[in-house]
């Protein structure tokens, strides 16, 4: 058995074998002949969604061609490609993606499958850019689907439960520049205005007060800078890192210096360690309309949250129609927690947070730490029974199941 761990080091994969196929045919044969199999991307999941006791497959050995169709405004990419590498390639050709996550180190297929997102009141998560995909299903067959397929909305954010995605087609837009400003000490009463104030906005807090410790405003370069007294905050007079004490050289450039979209929308530079590294993470997606009440509920457990939190981030994401997207059918507020790397101390607090948020129909980020039950999660997704039926039809022997999927979609 080969030993592999996820990025954070908190999950040691239990696979009996680790494979690196060099062709689609080799992958198809491997999938058809395995009883349990999963694809692993950049390892940025903090739970066992990507783990298996069977065969673990990296797609990094498959053909790595990237094809831009300027007429259709789409780009066709291999599943294992990192967003940061794709972004650089696109920008050199005059194109961009509408948004990026806070770190560019993640693989395209893994981020899409888990509904990973950036920030922006009018911008959807990364999966909303998917115009088509190729997938190897349990029988070893390769399927090509696009937005015209009747089950497309189920196949994009699919948690890897339907098959192994080998390529994706993504919408692109003309390249653009962003200026990033960091503001400090945001009053809670100004949160809504802050989140709606720029193309992409993140508000960080430590839960030791109701104020935002940092606001990262990523605005289009042709927009005027925020005034000196913007929403009662002060302008940062030095570079900041979301996690206090971490090296600021890891972070994308601040102080309103204009730069390409892919060098400003993420919080972290591609060539540096993202976030803290030695950490756990949780995130919950709530209806945007209940943000004030949900945050007030979290204030009640803030004294439990603060001691085990490195930083916490608030972001907004636009609604979409993808069945298992955390933003399905509702504009959303994402409440993210970067915890200390101590599961014994953190997991009870995760449960406290979930109890506080229970009245607001929280949806967990699929790739992060949560303790919500299947019933609690399923009740927030109108298409949950439809997706479960599709999983049973396309993967009748639960070949792509993991510990997490066994919990969510038991057989």
Distance, CA of 249 to CA of 5 (rounded, Å): 26
Does 139 reside within a domain?
yes
Query: How confident is the model at residue 274, as a pLDDT?
Result: 67
Going 306 to 348 to 323 to 58, the CA torsion angle's sign is positive
Residue 107 within any structural domain of the chain: yes
CATH number for the domain that contains residue 83: 3.30.465.10
Tokens describing residue 202:
């993140």
* The pLDDT of residue 276: 59
Tokens of 4: 């592999």
Distance from CA of residue 99 to its chain's centroid? 12
Q: What is the pLDDT of residue 42?
A: 85
Question: Strand 164-171 relative to strand 234-235: parallel, antiparallel, unpaired?
Answer: unpaired
Residue 117 falls inside a structural domain: yes
Tens-digit pLDDT profile for residues 59-98: 999 999 999 999 999 999 999 999 999 999 999 999 999 9
The per-residue pLDDT for 196 is 97
Does 206 reside within a domain?
no
The CA distance from 131 to 156, in Å, is: 9
The DSSP bridge pattern shows strands 55-58 and 37-40 to be parallel
The answer to whether residue 332 is domain-embedded is no
Domain count for the chain: 1
Q: Is residue 51 part of a domain?
A: no
Q: Give the pLDDT of residue 118.
A: 96
- For the chain, what is the largest distance between any 2 Cα atoms, rounded to a whole number of angstroms? 64
Q: What is the pLDDT along the chain (411 residues), one digit of tens a residue?
A: 345 888 888 888 889 999 999 999 999 999 999 999 999 988 888 999 999 999 999 999 999 999 999 999 999 999 999 999 999 999 999 999 999 999 999 999 999 999 999 999 999 999 999 999 999 999 999 999 999 999 999 999 999 999 999 999 999 999 999 999 999 999 999 999 999 999 999 999 999 999 999 999 999 999 999 999 999 999 999 999 999 889 999 999 999 999 999 999 999 998 776 665 689 999 999 999 999 999 999 999 999 999 999 999 999 999 999 999 999 999 999 999 999 999 999 999 999 999 999 999 999 999 999 999 999 999 999 999 999 999 999 999 999 999 999 999 998
Integer Cα distance of 174 and 229 in angstroms: 33
What's the CA gap between 51 and 72, in Å, rounded?
36
Asked if residues 362 and 286 have their Cβ atoms less than 8 Å apart, the reply is yes
Residue 220, in any domain of the structure = no
Secondary structure, 3-state, the chain:
CCCCECCCCCCECCCCEEECCCCHHHHHHHHHHCCCEEEECCCCCCCHHHCCCCEEEECCCCCCCCEEECCCCEEEEECCCEHHHHHHHHHHCCEECCCCCCCCCCEHHHHHHCCCCCCCCCCCCHHHHEEEEEEECCCCCEEEEECCCCCHHHHCCCCCCCCEEEEEEEECEECCEEEEEEEEEECHHHHHHHHCCCCEEEEEECCCCCCEEEEEEEEECCCCCCCCCHHHCEECCCCCCCCCCCCHHHECCCCCCCEEHHHCCCCECCCCCCCCCCCEEEEEEEEHHHHHHHHHHHHCCHHHHHHHEEEEEEEEECCECCCCCCCECCCEEEEEEEECCCHHHHHHHHHHHHHHHHHHCCEECCCCCCCCCHHHHHCCCCCHHHHHHHHHHHCCCCCCCCHHHHHHCCC
At 395-408, the pLDDT tens digits run 999 999 999 999 99
**350 burial via Cβ count (<10 Å: 0-12, 13-18, 19+):** buried
In a domain, 47, yes or no: no
Q: Which of 379, 226, 195, 218 is nearest to 295 (CA)?
A: 195
Angle between helices 343-357 and 291-299 (to 10 degrees): 130
Rounded to the nearest 10 degrees, how much is the dihedral formed by the CA atoms of 368, 369, 373, 378?
-10
- Residues spanned by the domain of 109: 67-174
Residues 395 and 389: their CA atoms lie apart, in Å, by 10
């Amino acid at each position: 058995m080969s030993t592999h761990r996820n990025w954070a080091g908190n999950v040691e994969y239990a696979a009996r074998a680790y494979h690196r196929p060099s062709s689609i045919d080799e992958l198809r044969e491997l999938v058809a002949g395995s009883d349990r199999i999963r694809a692993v991307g950049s390892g940025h999941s903090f739970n066992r969604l990507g783990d298996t006791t069977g065969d673990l497959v990296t797609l990094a050995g498959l053909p790595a061609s990237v094809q831009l169709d300027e007429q259709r405004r789409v780009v066709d990419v291999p599943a294992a490609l990192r967003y940061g590498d794709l972004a650089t390639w696109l920008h050199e050709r005059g194109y961009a993606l509408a948004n990026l996550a806070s770190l560019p180190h993640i693989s395209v297929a893994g981020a899409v499958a888990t509904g990973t997102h950036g920030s922006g009141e009018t911008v959807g998560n990364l999966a909303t850019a998917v115009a088509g995909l190729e997938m190897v299903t349990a029988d070893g067959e390769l399927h090509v689907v696009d937005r015209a397929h009747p089950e497309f909305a189920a196949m994009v954010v699919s948690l890897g439960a339907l098959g192994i995605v080998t390529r994706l087609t993504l919408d692109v837009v003309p390249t653009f520049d962003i200026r990033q400003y960091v503001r400090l000490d945001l009053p809670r009463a100004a949160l809504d205005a802050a989140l709606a104030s720029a193309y992409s906005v993140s508000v960080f807090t430590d839960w030791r007060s109701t104020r935002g410790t940092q606001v990262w405003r990523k605005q289009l370069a042709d927009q005027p800078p925020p005034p000196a007294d913007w929403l009662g905050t002060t302008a940062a007079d030095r570079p900041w890192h979301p996690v206090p004490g971490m090296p600021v050289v890891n972070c994308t450039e601040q102080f309103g210096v204009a730069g390409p979209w892919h060098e400003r929308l993420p919080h972290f530079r591609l060539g540096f360690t993202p976030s803290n590294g030695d950490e756990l993470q949780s995130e919950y997606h709530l209806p945007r309309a209940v943000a004030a009440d949900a945050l007030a509920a979290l204030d009640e457990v803030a004294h439990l949250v603060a001691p085990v939190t490195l930083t916490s981030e608030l972001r907004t994401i636009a609604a979409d129609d993808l069945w298992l997207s955390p933003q399905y059918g509702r504009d959303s507020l994402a409440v993210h927690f970067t915890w200390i790397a101590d599961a014994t101390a953190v997991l009870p607090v995760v449960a406290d947070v979930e109890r506080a948020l229970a009245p607001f129909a929280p949806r967990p980020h699929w790739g992060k730490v949560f303790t919500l039950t299947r019933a609690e999660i399923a009740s927030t997704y109108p298409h949950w029974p439809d997706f479960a039926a599709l999983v049973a039809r396309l993967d009748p022997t639960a070949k792509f199941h993991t510990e997490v999927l066994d919990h969510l979609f038991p057989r």
